[in-house]
Structure 1
């Protein structure tokens, strides 16, 4: 159940609100509007007065609601109307008018609008004009002339909604922490539908701004990218002339006066205000989207593969920063992916966006390698045209998202945990689509039976607990191929395999052969070590990389 508070101001605010609630709606969606409850249980009902002009009854109802406000005259508050739509989920049972009336009384009591037993509380009405929701409208002056005590009313009604869900057997939503992006209003939805658009302007702008932040190396490039994607930017300057904020608008999105509809960055999402954007961009400045020489797909994969370690051993600020960087990487992946994968990757990025914000301030210093390598991929995604680069990155991203689920769960970030779980499903679908053809092609080039026996022997010695699963895995042929390719490039196959096994435990891998295939593919494409280095490894003078431990309840599936 979703309650949402809207405040109205102006001398005609109450009259406008009542007119809307008993009108046809912006898309003729209001069916049989009528009162289900009111402050005194006998307020005039424009929807149930067949012998009177409905407009006359609307005016009478608005006047009765407004009476305490009018009594204050010039001392009336700026905002005089409290409007709260309360909507049930599509799968919820249809509630009766009496049940909706009870819900309305609980909501206004929780909000401080009309506490139970307070005869001098604010005047309010609850209007139902659809099977799945009501609108509560109240005036923000009590009948004794005082203001209602409604501190943190949004949080209070959300808490009450969670209790109502339990009492009425409704779909139980996840409790939030105030860091979610603002949802599009019903007006915005109706406007998008009227214009034949799949998404509201708010959602389109949020996506474009997030991608520009993820792709830009500095503020100038950020604004240039927005301009290139058709976003109009209006800066807010302080007395010194410095830009303090920015608003965004889409071309053609105008109000009834023909003026562009601008959204401030902070109303698109809490982390898209100009100060927050500048903080994010500082992790890539002053260098522009460049990384060390090498394959940026490998570098992005290596950086993403370290996220579980940060989530397990870092402090909370570092962990939050890693999730921000992972979200930025997912924002850009759909732009670089084949058309067949775009839909799933876009869905994954859209839902994981919620998992990148919490009340914990993010430390972004450890995210530079991931941000710069992903930006390099965005600038030239053609490397690894066979899909192996994307498959490798998605493989480790699945593990990173699984660890993100666990981290949010341990901190009771319910909405973030649910968002990461949804993202994991979309990433698994995309991974299967891109990895399948690559692994099939690798398996087709599998080395001789004798060579495979040699690799199998080393596996049985190195990881006896996983050897049977690996050798029975459909990806075993692909693993043998990349081992053979590493040998052809001058690597020692046993050494490379040992390195891959030491990077991370295989305990949480659904397909250990696939996991090893991508690790060895990356290791094998590095420059082969010199004979002296290989001799040093054989003599044990180099310390092995300690494997990262799995979370107590791994969610990882691949």
Structure 2
């Protein structure tokens, strides 16, 4: 059930509309409930006009009394329409009456047991909805307290849906971006545009945020984006206080650009909120160059673990940073998969926000890696993009679960929609690099040795990995890593420990990309391997000889025979 609440200052005009049988869809208008159960009903009388006047007079009684004392509010009419969904069963008048009583009680219009509650009526003029008309002056001539009436009505409707066995509507937390108005949608349709100006600008601004490292760079990118008009607002001191954007050619009746502030595009796109996020973007500081795609993938792979933790503010920050990563990917991906990535980013945008306030400093690593990625596109073979998309799929699954636990219904739906598009983009991207890797399958003897290591490292998933079509690619990745001096057993253990495989549709693919990324690091020296094994041995209470850690690929030379 959906409630829509508005205010007004003309009781007679509202009653006239509710009982107007000439309006489309208005059939048999009549009362189903009222403040005392005895209100005159224009739908059940021979003299409709006279009964309407009587009903308006009764509803306005306390308003007129308050007016004489100078205490009546300017807008004294409260109007709430409640509509059932198309799949809901037909509700009787008695059921609608009970629903109306619960709504006026929940919203503070007429609290249960309060003899001084406001006067109200519930009118039904269609099978699937009712209208509640109330005047907001109580019998004690005080104005009704109905703050947050939409939220309280919505919560009550959620309970009603469950009790009455009705369709349970997906509800939001008022952090969603504003949807385009019908007029905006019609205007875009007439212009032959698939999206409204508001939606186009929202995507453009998000992409600029994903690429920028500072507020100044963000505004610079916007100003140099084709087809976008930017108006930067300043304080008298000269400091930037805000910005508005418009789409070239999108004008009003006076042929002036239609401007949108950042907050009108989305709650998190106001300049103060953007500044907080951009200030949490740290510059790359490393003694040696590290591939930013590997850094971004590593940061993304850690997000499910953060979401399983107890720090909701940090988790929310990681989701916001991940949303920025999705916003940036269409800039870097091949043309063929950009539509899927655009749709994934637009869908997941809703899952990046909730009532939980993000502490953006927790997501510095991913945010800075994404900025570096924009400046260093991935090679054309698609392997790095596939690696990141593989991690992204598991992040979205974890995000959906995180929102489910917190009853963020809209965000759960958004994550599910994003997952569909991400999986499609991943399948398109991963096929070629995995096929190329599988063609380097090592000899059978090495495959059998790797199979044993896999069974030891992940007994719960071993059979699924070995039977996976991507198993050849995994063994090829392990063989390449081993040739570079890495210990395949250690790599597998590291890959398994750092990411649970339960959510993966193809554990072998997950492990392949993980091994590929981990093996790009310099192979540990003999001294490092000795130290690592001694540390493990100390934990287990055993001892390790240096010979035990000699590299398997470097057999010892034969000893000379004494004569």
> Does the aligned pair in 1 maintain the 2:30–2:125 contact within 8 Å?
no
In 2 relative to 1, CA 492–160 (structure 1 residues): closer, same or farther, beyond 3 Å?
A: closer
Aligned to 1:459: 454
Question: What RMSD in Å do the two structures reach over aligned CA positions?
Answer: 4.3
Deviates more, 1:352-361 or 1:317-326: 352-361
In 2 relative to 1, CA 451–541 (structure 1 residues): closer, same or farther, beyond 3 Å?
A: closer
Q: Partners of 1:236 and 1:67 in 2: how far apart?
A: 49
> Does the aligned pair in 2 maintain the 1:36–1:97 contact within 8 Å?
no
Deviation at 1:162, TM superposition (A): 0.6
Residue from 416, 436, 448 that aligns with 1:441? 436
| Count of residues in Structure 1 that have an aligned counterpart in Structure 2 | 529
Q: How does 1:270-349 map to 2 (within 5 A)?
A: 270-284=267-281, 287=283, 293-313=289-309, 315-349=311-345
Q: Partners of 1:127 and 1:478 in 2: how far apart?
A: 67
> Does the aligned pair in 1 maintain the 2:102–2:156 contact within 8 Å?
yes
CA deviations on 1:459-503 (whole Å, 9 max, x unpaired) are: 345445543332222111111222233345554545544443443
Aligned to 2:383: 388
Aligned to 2:354: 358
Q: Any idea what SS the aligned residue of 1:167 has?
A: helix
Determine whether 1:170 maps to 2:166.
yes
Deviation at 1:519, TM superposition (A): 0.8
> Does the aligned pair in 2 maintain the 1:289–1:376 contact within 8 Å?
no
Q: Partners of 2:340 and 2:393 in 1: how far apart?
A: 14
Q: Partners of 2:159 and 2:101 in 1: how far apart?
A: 13
Q: Any idea what SS the aligned residue of 1:540 has?
A: helix
Q: Partners of 2:344 and 2:186 in 1: how far apart?
A: 25
Q: Any idea what SS the aligned residue of 2:308 has?
A: helix
In 2 relative to 1, CA 235–66 (structure 1 residues): closer, same or farther, beyond 3 Å?
A: farther
> Does the aligned pair in 2 maintain the 1:122–1:143 contact within 8 Å?
yes
Segments of structure 2 that go 5 or more residues without pairing to the other structure are 537-563
Q: Any idea what SS the aligned residue of 2:106 has?
A: helix
Q: Partners of 2:287 and 2:4 in 1: how far apart?
A: 45
Normalising to structure 1: TM-score of the pair? 0.78
Q: How does 1:399-410 map to 2 (within 5 A)?
A: 399-410=394-405
Deviation at 1:415, TM superposition (A): 4.2
Determine whether 1:77 maps to 2:73.
yes
Aligned to 1:540: 532
CA deviations on 1:500-543 (whole Å, 9 max, x unpaired) are: 344334455443211110011112334x436xx14531563586
Deviation at 1:367, TM superposition (A): 1.4
Aligned to 1:106: 102
Deviation at 1:309, TM superposition (A): 2.8
Q: Which is greater in Rg?
A: 2
Deviation at 1:395, TM superposition (A): 1.7
CA deviations on 1:423-454 (whole Å, 9 max, x unpaired) are: 33443333333323432332233233333233
Deviation at 1:321, TM superposition (A): 1.4
Q: Partners of 1:508 and 1:475 in 2: how far apart?
A: 17
Deviation at 1:305, TM superposition (A): 1.0
Q: Partners of 2:285 and 2:215 in 1: how far apart?
A: 13
Determine whether 1:368 maps to 2:360.
no
Segments of structure 1 that go 5 or more residues without pairing to the other structure are 545-558
> Does the aligned pair in 2 maintain the 1:289–1:373 contact within 8 Å?
no
> Does the aligned pair in 2 maintain the 1:447–1:484 contact within 8 Å?
yes
Q: Partners of 2:193 and 2:126 in 1: how far apart?
A: 24
Q: Partners of 1:270 and 1:23 in 2: how far apart?
A: 39
Residue from 157, 171, 185 that aligns with 1:161? 157
> Does the aligned pair in 1 maintain the 2:20–2:26 contact within 8 Å?
no
Q: Partners of 1:24 and 1:291 in 2: how far apart?
A: 78
Residue from 512, 516, 522 that aligns with 1:517? 512
Q: How does 1:16-165 map to 2 (within 5 A)?
A: 30-32=24-26, 35-37=29-31, 39=34, 41-42=39-40, 44=42, 72=67, 76-95=72-91, 99-100=95-96, 102-115=98-111, 121-122=117-118, 132-142=128-138, 145-165=141-161
Q: Any idea what SS the aligned residue of 1:4 has?
A: strand
Determine whether 1:211 maps to 2:198.
no
Deviation at 1:300, TM superposition (A): 0.7
Deviation at 1:103, TM superposition (A): 3.5
Aligned to 2:479: 484
> Does the aligned pair in 2 maintain the 1:36–1:100 contact within 8 Å?
no
In 2 relative to 1, CA 307–542 (structure 1 residues): closer, same or farther, beyond 3 Å?
A: farther
CA deviations on 1:169-226 (whole Å, 9 max, x unpaired) are: 2221355544344444555555555655544444444433333322221112222333
